Amino acid sequence: MFPAIQFGRLFGIPLQARVSFLAMLGAVLLLMGGLSGIFVVLLAFGSVILHEFGHALTARRLGVNVSAIELHFFGGVAKLTSLPKSANDEVLIAAAGPVVSFALAGIGYLLYAATGLGGFALLSAVNLVMALFNLLPTLPMDGGRIFRALLSKRMSFERATEISVKLSRVVSIAFGVFGLAFMQIQLLLLAFVLWSMASAERVLAKRNPYGQPARDCHPGGPVERHAAAVSPDRIVILRYNQRRN
pLDDT at 230 over 50: no
142 in a domain, yes or no? Answer: yes
Q: What is the pTM of this model?
A: 0.79
Q: Are 164 and 144 in contact (CB under 8 A)?
A: yes
Digit-coded pLDDT (tens) for 95-115: 999 999 999 999 999 999 999
23 in a domain, yes or no? Answer: yes
Quick check: helix, strand or coil at residue 154? coil
Q: For residue 16, give the amino acid letter.
A: Q
Residues 6+ apart with CB under 8 A from 20: 72, 73
242 in a domain, yes or no? Answer: no
159 in a domain, yes or no? Answer: yes
The total of structural domains in the chain comes to 1
- Kindly report the average pLDDT of the chain as a whole number: 80
pLDDT at 93 (0 to 100):
94
Among candidate residues 52, 70, 90, 224, the one labeled active-site is 52
Among residues 212, 219, 175, 179, the alpha carbon closest in space to that of 197 is found at 175
pLDDT at 42 (0 to 100):
80
Domain that holds residue 144: 5-233
- More confidently predicted of 81 and 162: 162
Digit-coded pLDDT (tens) for 108-159: 999 999 999 988 999 999 999 999 988 999 888 899 999 999 999 999 888 9
165 in a domain, yes or no? Answer: yes
DSSP conformational letter for 217 = B
167 in a domain, yes or no? Answer: yes
28 in a domain, yes or no? Answer: yes
Parallel/antiparallel/unpaired status of strands 66-72 and 13-17: parallel
pLDDT at 2 (0 to 100):
67
pLDDT at 212 (0 to 100):
56
Q: Mean pLDDT throughout 40-62?
A: 90
The question of whether 52 is a catalytic residue gets the answer yes
Digit-coded pLDDT (tens) for 165-213: 999 999 999 999 999 998 888 788 888 888 888 888 777 776 556 655 4
Distance of CA 106 to CAs 47, 101, 110, 134, 152, Å?
13, 9, 6, 17, 32
Strand order in the sheet with 5-10: 5-10, 13-17, 66-72, 75-80
Q: Note if the bond before 213 is cis, omega within 30 degrees.
A: no
11 in a domain, yes or no? Answer: yes
- More confidently predicted of 224 and 189: 189
